[in-house]
Structure 1
Amino acid sequence: MSLSSESIRTLEEEGLRFVRDLIRIDSVNTGDPETVGDGEARAARYIQDRLEEVGYDVTYVESRPGRGSVIARLQGSDPGRGALVAHAHVDVVPVDGQEWTHPPFGAEIHDGLLYGRGAVDMKDFAGTLVAVARAFKREGIVPQRDVIFAFFADEESGGTWGARWLVEHRPELFAGATEAISEVGGFSVPLGGRRAYLVATAEKGIVWARVRARGRAGHGSRPTADNAVVRVAQAVVALAAHRFPVERTSALDAVLRAADVADVHEITDETIDEIVAGLGLVAPLISATLRETVSPTVLAAGSKTNIIPALAEATLDVRVLPGHEDTYRSEVEAIVGEGVEFEWGDLIAPISSPDDAALVETIGEAIRAEDPEGIVVPYLLPASTDNKHLARLGIRGYGFVPLRVPDDFDVFGEFHAADERVPVDALAFCARVTWSILATA
């Protein structure tokens, strides 16, 4: 299903225009439902208008005032095949406290780079999907399987009012869907002397916890062994110092093979960190996938310097590998031992999809058509996306937003950063490859 040169040019031009228009809509998600505002709704309505212009039957949903999401389905030629969900989120993280050299909602282009909040996370893909959806209608092309275009609110705060809400309250919108494609992956990285495009076939789970110690309150001039602050501090130090064992996932081995690491199966827990550290630009990302992690993030205790408080606590960001859903609590608590108590939040469970699925091969073919030297490499995402919520409906998720960038351009480093930016020519590449994937998947 090829496009004419004129149709490709229109696809690329619309994609860039829609990405810029979406960036200019301030849809910051503060994490507080009372202060979010209506930016997500305005972004979703903009998308709805662009899709309805070319004849889509669009479902607009507000889970609560201002928290808008949009769903549209394109019928495929083979109704017996499972539908593919192509999704993006319309919210972005705040810019407060960051020093931007270009307006974060200006969508300005300088030296071939598009600047703005959401340039990679992830209004780039939202705008691209709108352009691709319009191209299908404009060209009268029917894909092989149903494609469900979805644009979610609230991804940046866990999807409570977006993908999660829709899965729980409007599951019929995803009827028949078996796979999904979205963030985080698809950007090119140098690996083993080749240009690799990472596809997230799995994601770590996430759970937040509190570790709390109770002691006897007293005057600061009379130190006591029963000091809650000290015990929480000791727990935090123990957690930060602990190194969980390495988990040799198939995705990790795929990255090591692509990096041309000799004797992959002979790598040990003692040597793996040094080997991964030598992977260059992608090293920090892959390093975070080697094992389970616990990051202490907030400490709270006391209100006055000369008072020993009776209570101290720390919050923990725990990332759980697939297969450890039933053991992570005992593993973490065993590191600290007695003297503190844990309060666990709800686990957003890890997910894992087949590395060898036909969709992964389709992605590879689409990349090779644009970049014959490029390779697609499965990896484990240490972060979290809306694919986790869709997984509750039995939908297998993959992270792939195709961006060909210079070898020294760190796409993952642009997420949530000041002066978030993306090369304009990478957006054109994204439009062409995404079209190919959705047309032939």
Structure 2
Amino acid sequence: MDDVEELCSRLIRLDTTNYGGGESAGERDAAELVATVLSAAGIGSKILERDTRRSNVIARVSGTDTTLPPLLVQGHLDVVPADPAQWSRDPFSGEITDGYVWGRGATDMKDFIAMVLTVLSTWAREDRRPRRDIVLAFVADEEDTGAYGAEWLVNEHPGLFHGCGATISESGGYSYHVTNATGAPVRLYPIGTAERGTAHLRLTATGRAGHGSRRNDDNAVIKLISALDRIAHHDWPIRLTPTVTAFLQRTGAALGVEVDLSDVDATLARLGKAAPLVENTVRNSTRPTVLKAGYKVNVIPSTAVAEVDTRTLPGTEQELLSTIDALLGPGITREFVYRNPAIQAPVDSPWFDAMAAAIHAQDPDAVVVPYCMGGGTDAKAFARLGIPGYGFAPLSLPEAFDYRAMAHGVDERVPVEGLRFGTRVLDHFLSSV
């Protein structure tokens, strides 16, 4: 069997780029590699496709106690595009050098898939089984809409996930280096227990077309940019969710700093290096990203269009939309480009406790805290089946390593020792939970 870093490298070398809008290199090659590794470990699998080469691998590992609800372990095979001209190495080389595995998908999220497969291969070699059944879903299209992956599976094959008590996937369980009030180092390990919702909006302003040299009090472009200015500069109120509250309290206690929930901005300032983990999830956000208007410089167009990346905390979407409607003003309509509600899993649960125990088994000084993801994952799709989702793809990272800049970034890479650490943590968790 390959070492985890070799398997991660092999997965990276298979180009599974998702360009969006249904355009993709396809996940088939990676799916076939996954199926081959599973077969070598004595685990049967099946590849399901909504369309040619848009592949999803589904498998089930039998546990020793059939009375326990299964755990769903899911990850995506696709990656976002990478421009080789911007990279210091070929983004699909999977090169292993300087203690890292380099390439697109190294942290998002072929590392997790390689770690899970390595655990299963170890179990086969050592004739071990987990306590509960484990359902595996390595899916397509997470980097777009999930229409060929998790969303399609949940809509068309929900029975595959019947009875699952929880799911784990990307964006949590990694070491995050901070200092406490005395300057001593602290290793936080944030586990994702919530995700902000997505409410991408398209705004359309309408007005009177006319000559660019003449006065026009019904200019669609001016209407739109005025509305965007109001939205972009709106001071969205603090809204503390259970996950964010728990993060603030537990992190503050670990760092020895005062936590004042009535003055969150001051609390964030006191958290120092830990603040970036939570600062984007104490309130909703609306960030204009796309503008389209006009076709000729001397013509005032009758319509102008913008798209706004809008993120919502659990339970706040209607409040946000009502505020946006008030900010838009007359002559502007809104519609959803993409919509997926926020999700929240229990913080105080046996699942979370088992994840924390697995991390502590490898790092006794770890401080494990819940956190809310600013974006989203396929956990939202599985949440529609009543399956709570946790971000738990453990890694041990060097202090100077900017993990949060890796996903979708240039020179994406993952430390070899981090992969080995994560494999041990996953082995402990999946064996004992």
Same-fold call, TM cutoff 0.5: yes
Alignment of 1:140-289 (within 5 A): 140-191=127-178, 192=180, 193-257=185-249, 258-259=251-252, 260=255, 262-264=257-259, 266-268=260-262, 271-277=263-269, 279-289=271-281
Matched, 1:294 2:286: yes
Which letter does structure 2 place at the counterpart of 1:24? Answer: R
2:125 is matched with which residue? Answer: 138
Matched, 1:126 2:113: yes
Other structure's SS at 1:195 match: strand
Query: Judging changes above 3 Å, is the alpha-carbon distance between structure 1 residues 406 and 73 closer, same or farther for their aligned structure 2 residues?
Result: same
TM-score by length of 1: 0.93
C-alpha distance in 2, partners of 1:413/1:286?
16
Other structure's SS at 1:288 match: helix
Query: Judging changes above 3 Å, is the alpha-carbon distance between structure 1 residues 43 and 385 closer, same or farther for their aligned structure 2 residues?
Result: same
1:323 is matched with which residue? Answer: 315
Which letter does structure 1 place at the counterpart of 2:161? Answer: F
Cα shift readout 1:372-399 (whole Å, capped 9, x = no counterpart): 1002100011111011101111111000
Structure 1, unpaired ranges of 5+: 1-9
Structure 2, unpaired ranges of 5+: none
C-alpha distance in 2, partners of 1:147/1:343?
39
Matched, 1:430 2:419: no
Per the TM alignment, residue 114 of structure 1 is displaced from its structure 2 partner at its CA by: 1.6
Other structure's SS at 2:108 match: coil
Query: Which residue of the other structure, out of 310, 318, 321, is the alignment partner of 2:302?
Result: 310
Which letter does structure 2 place at the counterpart of 1:387? Answer: A
Other structure's SS at 1:433 match: helix
1:109 is matched with which residue? Answer: 96
Cα shift readout 1:226-269 (whole Å, capped 9, x = no counterpart): 111011001111111012111122322333231336442x343x
Indicate if the aligned counterparts of 1:296 and 1:317 stay in contact, CA closer than 8 A: yes
Q: Which runs of 4+ in 1 moved over 6 A?
A: none
Which letter does structure 2 place at the counterpart of 1:137? Answer: A
C-alpha distance in 2, partners of 1:31/1:41?
17
Which letter does structure 2 place at the counterpart of 1:109? Answer: I
1:7 is matched with which residue? Answer: none
Which letter does structure 2 place at the counterpart of 1:37? Answer: A
Identity percentage of aligned residues: 40
TM-score by length of 2: 0.94
Query: Judging changes above 3 Å, is the alpha-carbon distance between structure 1 residues 150 and 120 closer, same or farther for their aligned structure 2 residues?
Result: same
1:72 is matched with which residue? Answer: 59
Per the TM alignment, residue 174 of structure 1 is displaced from its structure 2 partner at its CA by: 1.1
Other structure's SS at 2:165 match: strand
C-alpha distance in 1, partners of 2:84/2:60?
39
2:391 is matched with which residue? Answer: 399
Matched, 1:37 2:25: yes
C-alpha distance in 2, partners of 1:300/1:381?
30
Indicate if the aligned counterparts of 2:209 and 2:299 stay in contact, CA closer than 8 A: yes
Other structure's SS at 2:21 match: coil
Indicate if the aligned counterparts of 2:241 and 2:313 stay in contact, CA closer than 8 A: no
Per the TM alignment, residue 336 of structure 1 is displaced from its structure 2 partner at its CA by: 2.5
C-alpha distance in 1, partners of 2:5/2:257?
42
C-alpha distance in 2, partners of 1:146/1:308?
63
Query: Which residue of the other structure, out of 389, 410, 419, is the alignment partner of 1:418?
Result: 410
Indicate if the aligned counterparts of 1:277 and 1:284 stay in contact, CA closer than 8 A: no
Indicate if the aligned counterparts of 1:277 and 1:287 stay in contact, CA closer than 8 A: no
C-alpha distance in 2, partners of 1:282/1:27?
34
Aligned-CA RMSD value: 1.6
Matched, 1:359 2:359: no
Indicate if the aligned counterparts of 2:188 and 2:369 stay in contact, CA closer than 8 A: yes
Matched residue pairs, number?
425
Indicate if the aligned counterparts of 2:176 and 2:399 stay in contact, CA closer than 8 A: yes
Indicate if the aligned counterparts of 2:241 and 2:314 stay in contact, CA closer than 8 A: no
Which letter does structure 1 place at the counterpart of 2:109? Answer: M
C-alpha distance in 2, partners of 1:317/1:74?
39
C-alpha distance in 2, partners of 1:84/1:148?
6
Deviates more, 1:80-89 or 1:136-145: 136-145
Other structure's SS at 1:347 match: strand
C-alpha distance in 2, partners of 1:275/1:283?
9
